[in-house]
Structure 1
Amino acid sequence: MAERRILIRGGHILTMDDQLGDFETGDLLIEGTRIAKVAEHIDEPADEVIDARGTFVIPGLIDTHIHLWQTTVRGTAVEIIGPEYQANVKRLRLNYTAQDKYVANYVGALEAVSGGTTTAIDHCHDVPSNEHSHATLRGTREAGLRTVYAPTMNSRAEGNPSTHAERLATVLDARDRILADDNNGLLYPGMALTDVPFVKAAGDRWEWLTREAEFARENGIFMTIHTTSQDHMTKLHGLGVLGSDLVPSHCRVFSSHEYDLLQANGMSVNITPVADYRHGLWWHVSEAVRRGLNVSYGIDSVVFGAGNLLSQIRLAGEMQRSSDMWTERMQGRGEIRRPGLPLIDAADILKQATLGGAIALGLADKVGSLTPGKQADIVLIKENEFGLTHASPAAYVVYDTDRQSVDTVIINGEVRKRDGRLVDVDYDRIRAMVNESAARICGTPIEGVRRVWWAPKEARAAWDSVAPAKDLGADHGEAAQERVGAPYAG
């Protein structure tokens, strides 16, 4: 049987392929799941023709750090800072059923697709059982998002003890399920290594990280890890963990030596602009770029803000402009900028959010650019309705678009969003699922956790009795971190 052919005609094509270049007006032909041809004009038969006039055609965005399981408790960390996240958001996982995990991942993945993201690594730091893990995979699979599923090696929530060997078994179980039913190649096995604070709290069990890296490499599993301190990369290097098959997230606190270690090991960095900026750290993009490191972006969690990568890369650009301006002021310069600024421009940021993400996840041979032969993960961005664009197409995409600007999304050759609406998605059903799940999660008070504003009315008094607002603070958050990290067992 001949493969289905889709012809995208007349768009402004930004390929992210330096050899192929861009096309102010061009066509792109899809055959089956792959890009067959990109040219100024393609005169070949197709089963479907998509009129791309008035759009920018780009590779799908790639998110290298997201926690999809938190989709249904979105916005709960918007007004809190620092350790309150551990105390009042992350511990909501204690109320999640397997069905809640399915709903969160299904809806979160759909939201990502709607915003132009076609690939993500799901750092799932809530895996209380294989049943929850299976539900998570089912939700992601049904949404059609290309995903590296990375269940955590962190110890499970209080009241649900697990050994290190049991957590490795959960990761292997997920890998086996992915390989048995790979959903047309859209799912890839991953692992979120034990976060360093958990290693320390367990009695400096550094051998865990060495074993996890060995295990991942023996079983073809991609790795990721949170980084929150300047000594993390140095320690991981000494343990033999660093490598191009590991992407560290929140790369905002590294020393110069640690950036050098990343470069020597062929590694990429992940930046989550909203979450990182909320912690007052914004210079890290500059440090990575100056060393020639590959940069990628992620949302982190919708508990902090908008669930689309376009808003994240816009903030990344603004953060870099702020850094450039600060450098100029400190050097006493005036109206004429010094050579080398801006350090990165909009075209660089867009390439980081596409090809950079693919490189970071080890998928650059499959996605990240509109190179013929790669998987057909393609996004069409509508031009401004008034015909107003920026000085460059990349600047328009980075600085003046959002989810509503995404007209069409194609993943693996299948149209997932058309004319601004997800295909074959029942929005009323989704809203009902989200409301039901959120009410269940927030209907049972958890000791020490402050209620979120949309907790069911009948449960609000009970929530307030277990965590009055006046009791919140740094000490409360640190104590909660200890509870989240316990119990530990080898």
Structure 2
Amino acid sequence: MTMGPQGDLPETDLLVHGGRIAATGTGLASDGAETINAHGQILLPGLVDTHNHLWLSQMRGLFGRSEQTRYFPLTERLGAAYEPEDMRVGTLFGASGALAAGVTTTLAYCDNIRIPGHAEAALDALVESGIRARFLYAGHDRLPADAPLDIDHLRQLHLNRAGWAGDAPIELGLGWRTPTTGSGDAVVATALEELRRARTLGLPISTHISGENGPAQLQFLMQRSLLGPDMLLVHATGADPQALREVEEAGAAISLTPITEHRIGFGLTRLNHYTDPVSRVGLGIDGALAGAPDMFAVMRAGHMVQAAVSGDELAILPREILQLATIGGARAIGMDAAIGSLETGKQADMILVDPAALNMGFSQTDPTALLVYSAKPQNVAMVMVGGKILKQGGRMTRTDEAQLLEAATSSLAAIQARANISASQNAG
């Protein structure tokens, strides 16, 4: 399934050379290359996660069980107790889980950077995992709105990328705090200076437009003509049709995270409300609040709501949903020239889904409904990023899963102890 102009190609070979797709066709000569027999399986581009808070992945399962476990106050309290090693473990835990589930590209919105070591530890984890990522440098919950981010550190990381990243497919961006139309002068001045400096460096921007403040934040961007092709709006809560038309006119993009938007109470995520007026829309997992790094579940959630609110089961088709999770997500983050579809010359980011499982079966014609409505992470048999195999035969190739799970468990226990959260409090 190329998810590109060639469409679906049954019984087709694909040749990878130098980390890129060299050719597709039937009967391709392997010339001594390693051969993977994928007969009966589904080959498609790696899934693109346009928004995720990987750093807090060890918090999975803590939220929404009591007043004391509401998402935002609990993440603020626990985040304040993170040490650099916790940032590393959480990011590696989240990135590895995403890879295992078929996500080959993620946008890691790292909004818990309190010291430079927090950012550096998270970047080390992304490099170690092998995932393709955009690391979004952001502040933390307790950073005053008029206190600046350490843009100097971001600039140093950007200029010295070869030193810390090597050949890892990691790039940098800014996780920007969008003010509202009612923000004070000091807050606005700080935010605008951060945005100016990031754009001077040529870094992409990602920003939350969410909750009750969503419409006012979007109004701020529109009034000051700050929208642009380099900006990804996360959630876009409360955006009306006229505002979305202005987003499209400015060339900006939107990331939708149906599972977490529903769980946190942002209202129903109606995909067509966004995709009809805006051409660059992708899907995101959004982190531990989603319950699991499962883009198949995100796709299902998006479809179910669209069908329910429209009263039409065909309001959005499974192929359209799958496009949002592959080439559409790549287009939303400005990487569609390199990833998102299986086309000659693009990066060899791809996954194999094995339908030989009790939860699946196999469609001889169009597998999109099977992938969107039936597939689960355990059906992902192989994951490749830039030609490197990171999962094969259903097992991760560079991650000791048991060891990583133990590290995440120990990290969370230490974080809770430093935050003075007892087991009984955590239980709600």
Same fold (TM over 0.5): yes
1:59 aligns with 2:32: no
* Alpha-carbon distance, 1:194 to partner: 1.3
SS of 1:89's partner is helix
Q: Amino acid of the residue matched to residue 427 of structure 1?
A: E
Could you say which residue in structure 2 is the equivalent of 1:429? 403
Could you say which residue in structure 1 is the equivalent of 2:134? 148
Q: Amino acid of the residue matched to residue 388 of structure 1?
A: G
Q: Deviations over 1:69-92 (max 9, x none)?
A: 111111222436899322122321
1:241 aligns with 2:226: yes
CA contact (8 A) 2:339 2:347 kept: yes
SS of 1:310's partner is helix
CA contact (8 A) 2:339 2:349 kept: yes
Q: Deviations over 1:51-101 (max 9, x none)?
A: 111211000001111000111111222436899322122321111110000
**Pair 41,208 (structure 1): closer, same or farther in 2 beyond 3 Å:** farther
* Alpha-carbon distance, 1:428 to partner: 2.7
Q: Amino acid of the residue matched to residue 155 of structure 2?
A: L
Could you say which residue in structure 2 is the equivalent of 1:10? none
Partners of 1:284 and 1:234 in 2: CA distance: 21
Count of matched residue pairs:
422
Q: How does 1:374-389 map onto structure 2 within 5 Å?
A: 374-385=346-357, 388-389=361-362
Q: How does 1:69-468 map onto structure 2 within 5 Å?
A: 69-79=55-65, 84-153=70-139, 156-157=142-143, 163-164=147-148, 167-196=150-179, 205-228=187-210, 229-278=214-263, 279=265, 281-325=267-311, 342-385=314-357, 388-389=361-362, 392-446=366-420, 451=421, 459-460=422-423, 463=425
Q: Deviations over 1:358-400 (max 9, x none)?
A: 1111111110110100010010011143572357311111111
CA contact (8 A) 1:213 1:241 kept: no
SS of 2:233's partner is strand
Partners of 2:189 and 2:343 in 1: CA distance: 42
Partners of 1:68 and 1:436 in 2: CA distance: 17
**Pair 307,372 (structure 1): closer, same or farther in 2 beyond 3 Å:** same
**Pair 144,355 (structure 1): closer, same or farther in 2 beyond 3 Å:** same
* Alpha-carbon distance, 1:153 to partner: 4.3
* Alpha-carbon distance, 1:294 to partner: 2.2
**Pair 170,418 (structure 1): closer, same or farther in 2 beyond 3 Å:** same
Q: Deviations over 1:14-35 (max 9, x none)?
A: 00112x2221211100002100
SS of 2:171's partner is strand
Structure 1 stretches of 5 or more lacking a match?
1-13, 329-340, 452-458, 470-490
Could you say which residue in structure 2 is the equivalent of 1:456? none
TM-score, normalised by the number of residues in structure 1: 0.80
**Pair 202,144 (structure 1): closer, same or farther in 2 beyond 3 Å:** farther
1:17 aligns with 2:1: no
**Pair 29,82 (structure 1): closer, same or farther in 2 beyond 3 Å:** farther
Partners of 2:268 and 2:162 in 1: CA distance: 39
CA contact (8 A) 1:268 1:295 kept: yes
**Pair 99,443 (structure 1): closer, same or farther in 2 beyond 3 Å:** same
Structure 2 stretches of 5 or more lacking a match?
none
* Alpha-carbon distance, 1:155 to partner: 6.6
Partners of 2:78 and 2:182 in 1: CA distance: 23
**Pair 344,81 (structure 1): closer, same or farther in 2 beyond 3 Å:** farther
SS of 2:187's partner is coil
* Alpha-carbon distance, 1:41 to partner: 2.9
Deviates more, 1:364-373 or 1:176-185: 176-185
Q: Amino acid of the residue matched to residue 327 of structure 2?
A: L
Partners of 1:84 and 1:232 in 2: CA distance: 23
Q: Amino acid of the residue matched to residue 150 of structure 1?
A: L
SS of 1:111's partner is helix
CA contact (8 A) 1:66 1:300 kept: yes
**Pair 280,125 (structure 1): closer, same or farther in 2 beyond 3 Å:** closer
CA contact (8 A) 1:252 1:282 kept: no
Q: Amino acid of the residue matched to residue 276 of structure 1?
A: E
Partners of 1:120 and 1:200 in 2: CA distance: 33
CA contact (8 A) 1:194 1:209 kept: yes
CA contact (8 A) 1:406 1:420 kept: yes
* Alpha-carbon distance, 1:438 to partner: 1.0
SS of 1:110's partner is helix
SS of 1:374's partner is coil
Partners of 1:259 and 1:152 in 2: CA distance: 25
TM-score, normalised by the number of residues in structure 2: 0.91
SS of 2:156's partner is helix
CA contact (8 A) 1:75 1:304 kept: no
Q: Deviations over 1:319-341 (max 9, x none)?
A: 2211221xx6xxxxxxxxxxxx7
**Pair 306,428 (structure 1): closer, same or farther in 2 beyond 3 Å:** closer
CA contact (8 A) 2:233 2:255 kept: yes
